[in-house]
Amino acid sequence: MITGLRVVDLIGSPREMGRAHGEELRTTIADGLSQWFDLVQRRTGHAGEAYAAGFVSSTSYTRAIEAYTPELMDEVKGIAEGARQKLEVILAYQMMDEEWAYRVALVRARRASIQACSAVGVVRKGSSLVAQNMDLPSHYDGTQVVLRLHPENAPGVMIFGPAGMIGTTGLNSEGVAVCCNALFQLRHRTSGLPVGFVVRAMLGRHSAEDAVALLKTVPHATGQNYIVGDPTDVYDLEASPSHVRELPRDGAQVAHTNHPLVNDDLDDQIGEDPESTTVQRLARVRSDLARLGNQVTADDVKRTLSDREVPVCVPRGSDWMTLGSLVMELSAEPVLHFAPGPPADTPYSEIRFE
């Protein structure tokens, strides 16, 4: 369990930043991998390193990563070197959405067991706001970190994720932010660009419009919703292997959880999860914020993301939890408000680009 905030600054080339990441967080990465391996062993009967190697070798994700984001492959190689872990293990660890789909197919499950993630975007006067509760399996708890990247010849990036990953959701120094929600009901495939690499690639762009253009160009491996914003606009797009469909803003706002609203590229092998709260969470986020229009503040969003009723904020104590909550204010000087755990129980801290 983590109660404090950890921010790690990384400077240099992709390989140098990855190596520094791996070295600085070596023990935490090893702890996180151990927890993941234990889960894999329980769910599949396969030993962790062998499972990771089989996942990487039986899919074609590496080919897309090398073709579309070679600099991120270099960063992953650096993480493996710095953490003293096998490359295929660290590479597999990046691809949580794709690995979930692979594991479901391996054990022949049919239920869409993605239980959480709630996101919102708001265009305000002179700025925008993009926010998310990143809800993930509880085995990641204790490995939360914000990476503050200072790459060569590219915008700075602040991104949240478990230690050892290139990140899950974040923003860049030019005020471009990206949130993502799993849409496991949509088709997936064993090729294409994995979600984490799509997010980081978009955060290398200078505007939300440019990031959306990239989103519409790359081949997608997994069904996913992306809320993309900058100081002047916010977009919401549902991506799958066959389609990228935009969900129009409702006035100044967009909101999304874990069921597709506009993309019909459905996977007929995946059933609905009767325990999912995705419909209720979306209704709660919309009802809380709709009356505020473009006057939504960071504190308004924090209150909504801290909801214990539905809950929008998933507490510790089960297989899933709100691993981190991000409220990103997008302007000429973007600000990240971050809680490293369920925000109903974990205070937000303000982080800026240095």
Domains, the chain, in order of start with CATH, read 12-107 (no CATH), 118-352 (3.60.60.10)
Measured between alpha carbons, how far is 294 from 16 in angstroms, rounded to an integer?
A: 41
Average pLDDT over every residue of 44-68: 97
Tens digit of pLDDT for each residue in 89-113? 999 999 999 999 899 888 876 555 5
Measured between alpha carbons, how far is 71 from 194 in angstroms, rounded to an integer?
A: 15
Percent of the chain's residues with pLDDT above 70: 97
Tens digit of pLDDT for each residue in 111-123? 555 557 999 999 9
* In the predicted structure, residue 40 carries a pLDDT above the cut 50: yes
Q: How much is the pLDDT for 269?
A: 77
Tens digit of pLDDT for each residue in 194-213? 999 999 999 999 999 999 99
Measured between alpha carbons, how far is 317 from 74 in angstroms, rounded to an integer?
A: 37
Q: How much is the pLDDT for 109?
A: 62
Measured between alpha carbons, how far is 193 from 196 in angstroms, rounded to an integer?
A: 8
Q: How much is the pLDDT for 354?
A: 78
Average pLDDT over every residue of 240-267: 97
pTM of this prediction?
0.96
* In the predicted structure, residue 1 carries a pLDDT above the cut 60: no
Helix (H, G, I), strand (E, B) or coil at 162: strand
Q: Which residue has the tokens 């214990």?
A: 308
Quick one: residue 320, left, alpha or beta (phi over 0 = left, psi -120 to 50 = alpha)?
beta
Average pLDDT over every residue of 171-180: 98
Average pLDDT over every residue of 35-64: 96
* In the predicted structure, residue 7 carries a pLDDT above the cut 60: yes
Q: How much is the pLDDT for 19?
A: 98
Average pLDDT over every residue of 157-180: 98
- The CA-atom distances, in angstroms, between 192 and each of 38, 102, 111, 303 are 28, 14, 23, 37
- At 239, the pLDDT band (50, 70, 90 cuts) reads very high
Beta-strand relationship, 127-137 and 335-339: unpaired
Q: How much is the pLDDT for 115?
A: 57
The β-bridge partners of 111 are 271
* In the predicted structure, residue 284 carries a pLDDT above the cut 50: yes
Q: How much is the pLDDT for 46?
A: 95
Q: Which residue has the tokens 């919102």?
A: 120
* In the predicted structure, residue 288 carries a pLDDT above the cut 60: yes
CB 277 within 8 A of CB 259: no
Average pLDDT over every residue of 77-95: 98
Helix (H, G, I), strand (E, B) or coil at 158: strand
